[in-house]
Amino acid sequence: MVDAKLPVGRKPRYWAQAITQLSAADPVLAVIIEASRSEGLRRRNDPFTMLARAIVGQQISVKAADSIWQRFSDLCGGVSPERVLATGEARLRDGGLTRQKSAYLVHLAEAARDGRLAAPKWHKLDDEAIIEELVVLKGIGRWTAEMFLIFHMQRPDVLPLGDLGLRRAIGQRYAGGRTLEHEEINDIAARWRPWRTVATWYLWRSLDPIPVEY
């Protein structure tokens, strides 16, 4: 079930305030925001579907992830824990998923079936506590947990330093294409607090005509 505290399909309530403050604090980001001002982060899915999309999207482009996700959904006849379990690992691999991702998706479906994703307490936990809850699941590392914080929980101040797209966008916009170290990125992102999620979303958007979505 979708948490009623987190509306589906609408931008977070803080979005307008965030883009105003970010635009004032960072002229580079202001230009990026202005190009896509009417767009923004929107919550689409329940915890299982969101995490499944993140697993499918690990280490591949947005376009490739969308294509594989559609094949995955078609193969299962829709995405739900029950349908993924009924499909099984072998058929998931036949549908184009790697052996590892197929195993992760089945494990995630088992966790959802067993109630381990039914966590109404999440909205009371801080970001690091939620990450700790999620990374015990197979296939859920810090990056995937951070995507959960951004796209499902809509937490406002997440900076996924391990995200290749974010690092590429920051390198292009702030360092002439040079790959920056985490410490350098943190220095740049300090001006974005407490809205680093919003800055991250627009930096992703600056790279791809397809908005990032999970």
Active site positions, annotated: 163
Whether 161 contacts 119, CB under 8 Å: no
Can you tell me the distance from the alpha carbon of 35 to that of 60, in angstroms, rounded to the nearest whole number?
25
Cα angle, residue 151 at apex, residues 162 and 22 outer, rounded to 5°:
75
Q: Distance between CA 69 and CA 54 in Å, rounded?
A: 10
> Token pair for residue 96?
């184009």
CA dist 36 and 197 (Å) reads 15
CB atoms within 10 A of CB 182: 11
The size of the chain, in residues, is 214
Q: Which of 95, 62, 54 is nearest to 76 (CA)?
A: 95
Structure tokens at 15: 């979005």
**What is the dihedral sign for C-alpha 129, 132, 137, 141?**
positive
